[in-house]
Structure 1
Amino acid sequence: MLDSVLVHAPATIANLGCGFDVLGLALTAPYDVVRVSRSATPGVQIRHLDHYKLPTDPARNVAGGALLTLLRHAPAGTGFAVEITKGIMPGSGVGSSAASAAGAVVGANALLGNMFTPMQLVDFAMDGEAVASGARHADNIAPAIYGGFTLVRSVAPTLDVVPLAAPPLWVTVVHPQIEVKTADARKVLPTSVPLNRAVRQWANVGGLVAGFLTADYELIGRSLEDYIVEPARQPLIPGLAEARRQALAAGALGGGISGSGPSVFMLNVTEVTAQEVGAAMGRVFAALGIDFRVYVGPIATQGARVVEEF
């Protein structure tokens, strides 16, 4: 019986342009490091080993919220002590809250002999997302658990996550060092959408999924356009439109806002192009006097995973 596990939980990109709250993919970097240990004290204890000063009250912590739900389905008297080192900056738009919640439930599940399915873990971790944003959404949680490319067909009344095949693709993420909180980004969303615009959006969701399944890179590029959410959120991210233009000129297939922002993602066929795209977008933010970070890597084939056992 294991006493403790160390988990790497990946950053994720949600929405992928047209797929608001339903599409997501996992990244190889950055990632959170989550250590979950058995505790003689029932319940959840949280400790952060980073400088972000996040809440340690389990009810106010994303990992704690996820684990409190898991404990309702675990043997009576179960307790966990959790240590989190954030490698993903909170508010960055690449699934920071989802990574911590996913890492916590994956670690706890390993200590319980993997008694829960990945679908159940997604369900538990969604309560961690609710702590962060007030909404139980799974577009980041699903790829953080399953890895790769995922479709959330439904969250209520029944959770239905569909892992999908992903072709070889390189992801460029540029994170301008400004903060856009998920809750704030949701406030600017439209409450109604004209039918003709919705039809165009549905067509792109279908096209993007088809492009991934058939490795049709041109179709992927044509489908990476958001007619509903990104136009509303674009004012929150200075330089977004120009960064997109420069990325496409450098050879990107397409991309957009990562989750609620401020990070911007682009999908690319090769690593060389991905690096050039990162440099091109970086020049846009540098000209605006905005510090930024660039991450380049392939789509991660695994989600949160145990890397050490004790």
Structure 2
Amino acid sequence: MNKSIKVFAPATVANVVCGFDVLGFAVNEPGDEVIMRLTDKPGVSLLKITGDEGRLPLNPDKNTVSAIAKQYLAHIGRPDVGIEIELHKKMPIGSGLGSSSASTVAGLFAINTLFDSPLTNKELVPFAMKGEELACGYGHADNVAPALMGGFVLIRSYSPLDIISLPFPQDMHAAIVYPEVDVPTKDARQMIRSKVFLKDAVTQWGNVAGLVSGLFMNDYDLIGRSMTDVLVEPTRSILIPDFERLRGLAMEAGAIGFGISGSGPSVFALTKDAETAKQITQKLQQHLKNIAINSLAFVSEVNKKGPIILD
């Protein structure tokens, strides 16, 4: 038994400004890679991790990739199987781009493929949510669902889980900039108010409905004016250097809308084309450089495929 597979899974932009925990989309880069092999020795082992600067656990019960592989094997009734895993981090940890999600999804897709795909990618989402729970204490799906399914995804309900793939303008691009400052997901979640005013809730669900409608209608203006968050962004943006100035620069350069990716510190803009997205990343990176902050930038279409087999 020596079957092996190499899988790439994409980064994701969760929340999409107004859809906290219920909206997300996948991008083509960055992402993570997992190499997985079936072996004759029973049990799941994590052989090595690269690109994490030693930050991630090699203990197979504590790393999301291996822990969720174990849960998958138990689910299909094959806990006796031997699995060896290599995780190659190709994206920054704690960036707000779904780093733990990309790793978990790559591993899940790999192991499901090795067993001839008995589950659909959509059916893998609950397993991936368990990985998010292990990584950050809360099993949300706004990263893992788009990472598995590609495109834009709406989580209409968590109990029962109800996930909907949304259409979107095919020429839409994302400009993503990751300022290299530390914003742990757990800390960012703890900053969020547990109670909100009704008038703010009304504003928020109007914007969520408007954004979803704009995606269906290919209406960039509606998408743009719906990308407003009155619940989470006002608090989380405090952790991101010069957030309002970055927004101003992006909008001046032609962004449809601008906001925080996931829990941050990455920020993103939606655009109508790749060239505008590239110009936005250049302007944002230059501003961050001017205030002595290093950054990484990514320009991508909305990823339509989710995880893919590399070889």
Q: Which residue of 1 is the match for residue 76 of structure 2?
A: 74
For 1:120, the aligned partner's letter is: E
The 3 A distance-change label for structure 1 pair 49 and 282 is closer
Aligned residues: 307
Counterpart CA distance in 2 for 1:88 and 1:144 is 14
Residue in 1 aligned with 2:128?
125
RMSD: 1.3
Shift of 1:307: 2.1
Structure 2 unmatched runs, 5+: none
Q: Which of 193, 203, 210 is the matching residue for 1:190? A: 193
The 1:184–1:255 alpha-carbon spacing in structure 2 relative to 1, beyond 3 Å, is: same
Equivalent residue number for residue 35 of structure 1: 35
2:232 to 229, 233, 237: 229
Partner of 2:44: 44
SS in 1 for 2:61: helix
Code of the residue aligned with 1:72 in structure 2: it is A
Is 1:96 aligned with 2:96?
A: no
Given the alignment, which residue of 184, 209, 225 partners 1:206?
209
TM-score normalised by length of structure 1: 0.96
CA contact (8 A) 1:278 1:294 kept: yes
Helix, strand or coil at the partner of 1:94: coil
Query: Structure 1 stretch 288-297 or stretch 51-60: which is displaced more?
Result: 51-60
**Which amino acid is the alignment partner of residue 195 of structure 1?**
L
1:151-202 deviations in Å (ceiling 9; x for gaps): 111222x221111112120100000011211101001000100000011000
Q: What aligned pairs does 1:1-310 form with structure 2 within 5 A after superposition?
A: 3-46=3-46, 47-53=48-54, 54-76=56-78, 77-156=80-159, 158-167=160-169, 168-308=171-311
Displacement of 1:60 in angstroms is 1.3
CA offsets, 1:14-50, max 9 Å, x none? 0000000010000010111111111223332112133
Give the CA deviation at 1:258: 0.2
Runs of 4+ in 1 over 2 A off after TM superposition: 39-43, 49-52
- Cα deviation code 1:77-103 (max 9, x no counterpart): 123211111011110110100000000
Greater mean deviation of Cα atoms: 233-242 or 76-85: 76-85
Deviation at 1:66, TM superposition (A): 1.9
Q: Which moved more, 1:141-150 or 1:116-125?
A: 116-125
Retained in 2: the 8 A contact 1:27–1:300? yes
Question: What is the identity, as a one-letter code, of the residue corresponding to 2:120?
Answer: T
Q: Distance in 2 between matches of 1:68 and 1:296?
A: 35
Instruction: Report how far residue 284 of structure 1 moved.
Output: 2.2
Partner SS state of residue 155, structure 2: strand
Whole-angstrom distance in 2 between the partners of 1:94 and 1:146 = 16
TM-score (norm 2): 0.96
Deviation for aligned residue 1:51 = 4.1
- Post-superposition offset of 1:65: 2.7
Q: Among the aligned pairs, what percent are the same residue?
A: 41
Q: What SS does structure 2 have at the residue aligned with 1:16?
A: coil
Between the aligned partners of 1:65 and 1:127, the Cα distance in structure 2 is 9
Q: Which residues of structure 1 form unaligned runs of 5+? A: none
